[in-house]
Amino acid sequence: MPLLKNGQIIEDTWSNLPESANDDQGGAALDVDLIVSLEQWQSDRDALLKRNGRLGLRLRSDQPPAEIVADLEHFDLIALDFPKFSDGRAYSYARLLRERHGFRGELRAVGNVLRDQLFFMLRCGFDSFEVAGEDSAEAWRGAVAEMSVWYQPTGDGRRPSGVLGGAFGRSRAVAAE
């Protein structure tokens, strides 16, 4: 599946540890960049920490980041799953990870990731996206360049437009006096 990161289609260097991997494997002998489920992390934590490759974690939408906050330092990537269009918990999880818990690694949107939601995902702190199909990936890449003005403040480091931070913000302050 194509991966979009920083507005570019890139090769995904990460591998997902299959759910069928048994405890003996635990990914311990692998020197690849590996994404594991929360259940795999909880059952094979010690073996996974002994690996040489980078470690990533995939959280389902019913698995809030609070379950792994104490372990964030071990992850270079966290993949947040969008199981269906109407489930937006991953947006909140992304903001919590970036703004409250200070996660600086890669935040990847996976699952039912829609181009129409790209800008909201970016503002919440996502920086990479698994997209379905090569044509779709090209369309996503073009979409990243379409937006240059942001109106709402968030923790992604991009400053909002002067409209909200400037004149509009001042007029609200004057009205409050």
What residue segments make up the domains of the chain, in order of their start?
3-146, 148-177
CA angle 36, 88, 70 (to 5 degrees): 45
Cα 37 to Cα 16, 19, 44, 140, 174: the distances in Å are 9, 8, 10, 27, 51
Is residue 133 very low, low, confident or very high in pLDDT (cuts 50, 70, 90)?
low
How far apart are alpha carbons 78 and 57 in whole angstroms? Answer: 5
Q: Which residue has the higher pLDDT, 129 or 141?
A: 129
Q: Which residue has the higher pLDDT, 42 or 120?
A: 42
How far apart are alpha carbons 124 and 67 in whole angstroms? Answer: 19
Specify the pLDDT at position 118.
83
Is residue 83 very low, low, confident or very high in pLDDT (cuts 50, 70, 90)?
very high
- The string of pLDDT tens digits covering residues 86-111 is 899 999 999 999 999 999 999 999 99
- The string of pLDDT tens digits covering residues 20-70 is 755 444 444 468 899 999 999 999 999 999 998 999 999 999 999 999 999
Specify the pLDDT at position 97.
97
CATH class of 3-146: alpha beta
Specify the pLDDT at position 151.
60
Residue 176, pLDDT > 60, answer no
How far apart are alpha carbons 28 and 59 in whole angstroms? Answer: 20
Report yes or no: 113 and 129 within 8 Å, Cβ to Cβ: yes
